[in-house]
A and B are shown apart, each in its own frame.
Chain A
Amino acid sequence: MGILSSRRKLHIHSNKDWISPQVIDFLPNEAIKLLYFPLVSPRGTPAEQFVQVGDFVKIGTKLGVHKDWYVPFYSSVSGKVIAVEDRFHAGLQRAVKHLVIENDYKETYEAPLKTVSNLSSPAEIVDAIKEAGIVGQGGAGFPTFMKYGGVTGISDILINGVECEPYLMTDYNAVKEKTRLLVAGVELFLKASGARLARIAIKENKTELIATVEKALKGRPDIVVTRVPDEYPMGYERTLIQEVYKRDYNVLPKEVGIIVNNTQTAIAVAEVLLDGKFFTHHYFTVAGDGINRNKIFYLPNGVAVNEIIKVAGGYTSQDITLLAGGPMTSRGLGNDTFAVLPANGGLTILKRHEYQQVECLRCGTCSRYCPLSLYPVEIMKAGEGKNENRLRKLEASRCSECGICSYVCPSHVDVTESIKKAKLFLRIQDQKKANQGGK
């Protein structure tokens, strides 16, 4: 009943028309001279370090393990560990310890990890994914094995190739280049979860890509392509499941028997588990009006972003908004020296543009498009008044920070930013209560 509830999605300009015809670029040797691997997990927990300064490494040498969940990380080049230094981390927004590896350009490989076969059990597949250190390629970097470990009652796998963020063309190119691996990876997901059907969701306007994938899927009734409308945030799990299955869940898609994975994650799983490669390289978009040449790269993890910027011709302006991701959900970074992580799909680089903000006119447009059907402006006002009770009643902590409320705001109020603050306020209150309970 649209008259009372949120529409939950909105068509926005995708800004993807720059990339035709698509050519995949590789970084020149000078750009991958030094590679950096953070010694903390994306959540900030210190990692266990397996190599020391002075050690020689090959492609696939296990550098360490992130310990929140068990996520090993591997060297993407061969060479020598020359230092451990402080370097800016895009996700944590602060400097953390990084291993620095100097590339010797010899491209020597470690022995491959254990691969799987047709006879492997689901548990063996999940273990192999875990050992490969594969994390979700959709941007959040959630370990893939966590989604499959010991699951029951899964009926469908939903492969997310929607890429609803403007500018980014990473998934699009990965799928186009590696369609065969995508299908093989999806097959492994089906086997690992016991699901009977896999759907690959692609935006309906990407007709060429759909044709390519459908050709590769010929004679496979258990994997189908699902066309989804060109709206934002169609690539958000909740919106996607709502669109494809017309169903809602509370916290995780598992509740309704669905596992959602990114297309590149499926490709990575197939590459490691079937082809014996390592989870060290991925596609990477560099786009926006703030960079001279928009490009798609295939690059190793650990490259410093300022090297990529140089290859792409440098910035077009002195005032730049640098984003490790798309323009809707990423936050502006104050530094371009950070290293590319496995979950980074690209950079959006825009000229500085300040929107003229006026007073909120209470038009309620944000409430009519929120994918979670929340009332963003009400949350914002409750947050300004530090009204904890009302914030909880408005379910502020459910916000996914997709940015659509700020996008639609005609007064250009930073609604999303205010909600982030309100969520932080709620977390602090929770912490205070927990501390008081402990006393």
Chain B
Amino acid sequence: MITRFTLLPGPYQRTNRSTTQIMLMLCAALVFVALFGIVYQFTTGMMNGVYGLLIIVVSLVATLLVDLLTAVITKQKDLKKFVITNYSYVTALIFALIVPASTNLWVVAVGAIFSTVIAKAVFGGFGRNIMNPAIAGRIFVGITFASFFTAATISTVTTGATFMADTNLSWNNITTMVGAEGFDWLKVLFGFYNGAIGETATIPILVACGVLSFFNVIDYRQPLFYLGTIALIALFIGLSNGYNAGEYVLLHLSMGGVMFGAVFMLTDPVTSSTTSTGRIISATLAGLLTMLIRTKANFAEGCMYSIALVNVFQPLIDSFITGNSRTNLSKNIIAVTACAVIAVGVGSLGGYYPDVAPVSSGDTTTTISTPSTPPADPFDKKVPSAAFTESVADGTVSITATIELYKGLISKVTYAGGIGSDLFTVNDAYTAKYITPLIGKTVAEATALDLFSAAALPTEDIVADATGTANCLYLAIKDGLSKAPELYGTGTSTTLNTWVYIDLDADGKIATVEIFNDKGIEGEYFPTIAAFNDKYVTPLTGLTPTEALALPAYLETTPETVSTGATHSGISLFNAIKDALGA
């Protein structure tokens, strides 16, 4: 027997750990996180759950097909090995978990293919891509196919996009974010709300983070410093703007896919630095970018863009890290500390809004009922009702309804509160009977509907087992309608648009006049137009609309110029009030 001596390079004893093993553990964690999203989808409807699964399947199949194609084109000898060690299925899984849950399936396929081919294979396959492929794919479909994020086959419950986009929330204003009753944090933290399948379940993602870090599948430094930077910036923004800081921090950490990005995308080793220092610096910078995009660009998906940006800058950051980590330790500590201080400082300053009136914490309900900040669109007006509470068998139900008006017509009725998932069981039948008929009507028309003109609660038990909830909701909607403005008018002059909402009290007398113009509520208006206000607005209170129109001031076709330098404001407001009063 001739002995053959191996001349393979050493060492000849090696760790049992393999990259495939790492990737499979990552996949297991992704599946665990996706479970929560899928289960939520099923709670909103059988079809929605199936659709969520279909997104994952389509993404995986499309990716595997192009992977095979890549293998054939690049003349790989071992197709199976190539597909397994190219790890595109991880990309496919991540991509499926970050697209809105109602995206058209062919858009999912296109995005997955873009991820694997353009963002990965073109650069030389696994280990050589410069940007996280799943993020690249998500940005691509986000820019190109955003209008296909809502598939026609899906019921309106899963409205798509992320939760943030769905509810028109603004990162700069906690009052519009948290809502009258606050979030149901339990639901939010476990992902029971609309959004991408994988991004919503904050607590399960954190659990996955812990397990993956323990087994060294991901580097704990990256989520720690990324989320830490975000939390600190959010804390300082919260404190400086007078929000409920704790809730504001929690909101930033649990919304917009930050947690998912921190654990599954920022930690992608291929696009990360190989050095601890480099990883911490880029994670900190990503945290800063996320917060700047959120507060300055007012964009829900700041997380995704920030990670893509630091991915691209990684080689530059790496080129500054030289020598060894022992003798350069103090240098690295200084670099990391400086980076963290600058990031938190810049981020906090960037999110400070001196114009926004402070909102005292713990007093959100009161503040909400008299909004002190303008809606983003002056045509939009949200009128929250008071909370209605009723004892039911398994506790107390408390519900707030919000009537949203658009150009004086009811555009949307939303509600918050309730216990457990009873609101979801209320949903379909109740919506059909009590909410859908309101849409598109004026407040006066809605109030006049038979449904709401009755003084007593509806005797019809529409929703079995949720009568208390249904009753609360009924009362809340009714209250919301009673608080909604009854009169709405627009007025223009050559350079300015003005809108008014006039609220009538129970006797049909004018109670308040709310004014918006192009510059926002009370923008530059009141200081210069005080004299106009005295003559044209203040006298309206206490009059019926007919009496108001009969005032001498409103008998003219144009108002008298009473305020120097504010002629156009005066004219447009005059027109708006006349419009609202029905002239």
B280 at the interface (CB under 8 A from A): yes
B:1-38 near A, CB below 8 Å: 1-15, 17-22
Contact A414 B277 (CB under 8 A): no
Which A residues are in CB contact (< 8 Å) with B125?
359
- B-contact bits for A1-38, CB 8 A (1 contact / 0 none): 10111101000110100000000000000000000000
For B274, the closest partner residue in chain A by CB is A364
Q: What A residues does B10 contact at CB under 8 A?
A: 323, 327-332, 403, 406, 416-417
Within 8 A of B (CB), among A335-370: 335-336, 348, 350, 352-356, 358-368, 370
In the complex, which of the residues A5, A322, A356, A416 has the most CB atoms of chain B within 10 Å of its own CB atom?
A5
In the complex, the number of residue pairs spanning A and B with C-beta atoms less than 8 Å apart equals 188
Stretch at the interface among B320-328, B487-495, B537-545, B566-574: B320-328
Q: Is B274 in contact with A375, judged by CB distance below 8 angstroms?
A: yes
Given contacts A335-B5, A373-B324, contact A361 B19 (CB under 8 A): yes
The answer, among A248, A327, A354, for a CB contact under 8 Å with B11, is A327
Q: A355-B14, A367-B276 in contact; A4/B322 too (CB < 8 A)?
A: no
Chain B residue at smallest Cβ distance from A408: B15
Task: List B contacts of A334 (CB < 8 A).
Answer: 5, 7
Structural contact, A4 and B276, CB atoms closer than 8 A: yes
Contact A363 B324 (CB under 8 A): no
User: Are A248 and B326 touching (Cβ within 8 A)?
Assistant: yes
Residues of A within 8 A of B323 (CB): 393-395
Picked from A248, A366, A377, A412, the residue with its CB within 8 Å of the CB of B14 is A412
Flag if B279 contacts A348 (CB, 8 Å).
no
Residues of B within 8 A of A4 (CB): 276-277, 280, 325, 329, 332-333, 336
When the two chains form their complex, are residues A394 and B14 in contact, meaning their CB atoms are under 8 A apart?
no
The answer to whether A414 and B325 have CB atoms under 8 Å apart is no
A350 contact set on B, CB distance < 8 A: 12
* Chain B 337-371: CB-based contact to A (< 8 A → 1; otherwise 0): 00000000000000000000000000000000000
Q: Which residues of B contact A417 (CB under 8 A)?
A: 9-10
Residue of B nearest to A371 (CB): B326
**For the complex, what is the distance from the CA of A353 to the CA of B6, rounded to whole Å?**
9
Assess whether B296 is interfacial by the CB under 8 Å rule.
Answer: no
Q: Which residues of B contact A248 (CB under 8 A)?
A: 326
Q: How far is the CB of B356 from chain A (nearest CB, A)?
A: 37
Q: Is the interface of B mostly helix, strand, loop or mixed?
A: loop
* Neighbouring B residues of A271 by C-beta, 8 Å: none
Contact B11 A319 (CB under 8 A): no
Judge if B535 is at the interface, Cβ distance under 8 Å: no
Quick check: is A224 within 8 A (CB to CB) of the other chain?
no
Q: How many residues of B contact A (CB 8 A)?
A: 54
Interface-forming stretch among B191-199, B255-263, B265-273?
Answer: B265-273
Q: A residues 385-439 with Cβ under 8 Å of B?
A: 390, 393-395, 398, 403, 406-412, 414, 416-417
A359–B127 contact, CB under 8 A? Answer: yes
Q: Which residue of B lies closest to A358 (CB)?
A: B85
With known contacts A361-B269, A411-B19, A320–B324 Cβ distance under 8 A: no
Assess whether B221 is interfacial by the CB under 8 Å rule. yes
Q: Does B6 contact A332, Cβ atoms closer than 8 Å?
A: yes
User: CB distance A6 to B325 under 8 Å?
Assistant: yes
Which one of B3, B85, B270, B277 contacts A362 once the chains associate, using CB atoms below 8 Å? B270
Contact A358 B20 (CB under 8 A): yes
Kindly state the separation between the CA atoms of A393 and B321 in the bound complex, as whole angstroms: 9
Q: If the complex has contacts A367-B276, A368-B276, are A327 and B13 also in contact, measured as CB distance less than 8 A?
A: yes
Decide yes or no whether A264 CB sits under 8 A from chain B. Answer: no
The answer to the question of B247 belonging to the interface, with a C-beta cut-off of 8 Å to chain A, is no
* B431 at interface, CB cutoff 8 A: no
Q: How far is the CA of A431 from the CA of B196 in the complex (A)?
A: 60
B127 and A361: CB pair below 8 A? yes
- A1 with B333, Cβ < 8 A, contacts A367-B274, A416-B10 known: yes
Q: Is B9's CB under 8 angstroms from A362's CB?
A: no
Contacts of B324 in A (CB 8 A): 6, 370, 372-375, 394-395, 398
Known: A327-B13, A365-B216, A374-B324. 5 other contacts (CB 8 A): A329-B10, A330-B12, A358-B127, A362-B127, A364-B269
Task: Provide a sorted-by-A list of 7 A–B residue pairs whose CB atoms are within 8 angstroms.
Answer: A15-B13, A332-B9, A358-B20, A363-B269, A364-B276, A407-B13, A409-B14
10 closest A-B pairs (Cβ-Cβ)? A359-B127, A403-B11, A364-B274, A417-B9, A373-B326, A393-B322, A327-B12, A373-B324, A5-B325, A327-B13
Please list the residues of chain B having a beta carbon within 8 angstroms of any beta carbon in chain A. 1-15, 17-22, 81, 85, 125-128, 216, 219, 221, 269-277, 279-280, 318-319, 321-327, 329, 332-333, 336
